[in-house]
Structure 1
């Protein structure tokens, strides 16, 4: 298990909170990715909407490398619905993400049902 996957799994159970950056008080999907990868997270975004190109550029500026196939520890950008972007960390069992409906960070088994817009990995 790599460090990013391990860090993401350690966040499972944290409360959901929009713009949350601390597992003690809550995390959103951006907070999960920031905590797991150690990159700085932007703030001031809405729960819905977003521009996939802008998000991709921010991820790459933070130093993550685009890849074509996901392995555990990779960052995943997905479209979960109309005008709804979502970030997660791939794990050996599935993915870790902040689930707003369940109000907590969860590990979801299997492949995501959502459209995958991009994948990134930390350089070794």
Structure 2
């Protein structure tokens, strides 16, 4: 559960990354592919898996933009993320463990790029991404 302090930290962070979604998203996704190569199987149309690849940039940006968009919905993540959960759970059949793997890569990427990634922010990001992961995995229960 996100505290009010967590929500404030997340809102501040998401506002800061709003203009960097393509770069940060591509790097996070490339980290996922490098550290967990089995996740590449969900992206059969990708010809490359580096942060410079056009499709990696596009999909990474989509993911981070979706996270930035949650900024307005922190009090109603289950409802807000329902369509994404349905798409990934029923349509794409993504193993829900991969959401956790990707969350970790996102957190590492943010920490590497943002000076304001304090221990408190790190804690808030972990809780936030844990909640997002939980909601995206909701259709598997």
Please indicate, yes or no, whether the TM-score normalized by the shorter chain is above 0.5: no
Tell me which protein shows more strand as a share of its residues: 1
Please identify the structure whose Cα radius of gyration is greater: 2
The TM-score bracket by the shorter chain reads 0.3 to 0.5
Q: TM-score, normalised by structure 1?
A: 0.33
